[in-house]
Amino acid sequence: MSGEHFHVHGPHDHEVEQAAEAEASGHNGHGEGHGELAQRVALMTAMLAFCGAISSWQGSTSLSEAMLLKNDSILLKNQSVLRKTEASNQWNYYQAKSSKQNLAELALALAPREKQEFYTKEVERYKTEKEAIKKDAEALELEVKKYDAESDEANRKSAEKIHPHHRWELAMTFFQIAIALASITILTRMRWLFVTSGLTGVAGLGLAAAAWLHI
């Protein structure tokens, strides 16, 4: 019997063997659960990243449009100021012609007969010049009103564009937080973090929808 070997298991060896089997079985089950959780987190993270990219793009677009409209408003307001200055100059010129007309009328009243025809023509000339100056001044004032109205409209549209921009920014922030929570879920394996990440992502979607609908 020298070629045969016998191994006798003691009670302690049996317990260690059972514990090892139980531990291996537990690890295998936990690994399967963790793998399923990881797949869910990966899928949700991809969706959140996609939504975040859309929010970022929409936010940048709305901001660019708002800034362009704001610049248009400033340019239109500058044009309005220039026209106001020109109109003011025209009215000053009109007043100067009125003063000369008054002097010509006074001279006509005091002048001898041989000078009256000259001053009469001067009075008529100043009246004609005044009418032309008045028309120019009134036309410039109409341009001022037009530029002011266009500037106000550009400001209004800019405000409409900047409002959803803030919503898009906030939505993107929520998506980033949700992605961060999902990443922590992988490390900690805490399912409540996964749920919290999902709820945060839903809040981001709500903000994105509000931005899209201009609410």
Q: What is the mean pLDDT of residues 209-213?
A: 85
Establish if 204 belongs to a structural domain. Answer: yes
Average pLDDT, the chain: 81
Number of domains in the chain: 1
Q: Cα separation of 90 and 127, whole Å?
A: 15
By residue range, what is the domain housing residue 142?
Answer: 41-212
**pLDDT of 8 above 70:** no
Establish if 19 belongs to a structural domain. Answer: no
- Provide, rounded to the nearest whole percent, the portion of the chain with pLDDT above 90: 31
Which pLDDT tens digit goes with each residue over 30-39? 444 567 777 8
Establish if 186 belongs to a structural domain. Answer: yes
Count CB neighbours of 174 within 10 A.
23
168, two tokens: 């898009």
Establish if 33 belongs to a structural domain. Answer: no
